[in-house]
Each structure stands twice: as C-alpha cells, then as structure tokens.
Homo-oligomer: A and B are copies of this chain.
Amino acid sequence: MQRTVWAEANCPLARAVDLIGEWGSLLILREAFGGVRRFDDFQARLQMSRNLLTARLKKLVAGGVLMQQPVAENARRLEYVLTPMGEDLATTIVAMRQWGDRWLFAPAPHPVDMVDSVDGGVIPPLEVRSATGRRVLPSEIRLEPSTARQEN
C-alpha cells in the first residue's frame, strides 16, 4: 500500500501519527506504562504476531519513544523501557482513554476508572484551557506561526 510520508510535514500531529499512529503502537505503550518490559510479555498481553510486534517495537525505539536496556547489570537480555519522550505520551493516552470512557461503552457505564494513587480520587477529564484558564472550544483554536520560530 502506498503511503504518504507524514513525517516530513510541518504538522506535529502528522509526525506523531507517523511515529506512534500505526496499528498496535499505542497499545504497546499502554502496556509499557503498565510496567511491561519484556518482548514475551508484550506478546502475550497484546496477542500480536511476533513479526508485527518486532516491527512496532523497532520503530518506537528508533523514534526515541522506547529504549532497550539490559534486564540486569551484565545481563545480555534486553527489555523495553519508556524514554522521557515516551513518558510524556501519558497525557495523550489519558486523553484518548477518557474519550473512550465517555463514548465507547454507552449505554453501559465505563468499567474502569483512572485513579490518582496519591489522593485516591478519580482523575478528572482533561480540558483544553487558555492561559487565563478559560475553557477553549475546538472552533476557537487557531494556528499561528510560532513566536519561537519567528525570533530565530
């Protein structure tokens, strides 16, 4: 299948989709957030073919989202761990998960809550807000050349 290469695009969403938007990648990351590190454990939990899982992990490592490290000092076996760039995907995954909870179980209630283990409370829905704290509607978001770039 012919695919446009989005990574060259100037759009951060297109680049993100290129790196983490392939089928299965976000679920691999879900497992990584849940503490899974070994190939066989990813495989068992995701029921994904070994070839496909290998390809997805390779791309996530090459893209800097996961890294490989020895399971112990002097060990040969490698495991997969989230990089800071990967950890930073938590917000995206929480947003998508909350959307799924709102829309993809109805009319039944969603089965699982995300809870803050420190406070014990359910994590409230993420909301797009302005710098002044106003709730921003999708139609109110405008794209403008970045000031960071203009200064260069």
Contact residues of A with B, CB < 8 Å?
Answer: 1-4, 6, 10-17, 19, 21-24, 26-27, 30, 33, 46-49, 52, 64, 85, 87-105, 108-119, 121-132, 134, 136, 138, 140-149, 152
Select which of B93, B115, B147 is within 8 A of A144 by beta carbon: B115
24 A–B contacts from the bound complex (CB under 8 Å): A12-B110, A13-B27, A13-B30, A14-B100, A15-B104, A16-B97, A16-B104, A17-B23, A17-B24, A22-B23, A88-B103, A90-B128, A91-B127, A92-B99, A95-B96, A109-B146, A109-B149, A110-B148, A112-B144, A113-B147, A116-B141, A119-B131, A121-B130, A124-B129
Number of copies: 2
**Bound complex: CA A26 to CA B96 (Å):** 12
Least Cβ–Cβ distance between A92 and chain B, in angstroms: 4
Best-surrounded residue of A64, A114, A141 (most CB of chain B within 10 A): A141
Residue of chain B at shortest CB distance from A105:
B12
Residues of B within 8 A of A90 (CB): 128, 138, 141
> A114 contacts which of B14, B93, B141 (Cβ < 8 Å)?
B141
Q: Tell me whether A102 and B118 are in contact (CB under 8 A).
A: no
Query: B residues within 8 A CB of A27?
Result: 6, 13-14, 17
A101 — which chain B residues lie within 8 A by C-beta? 12
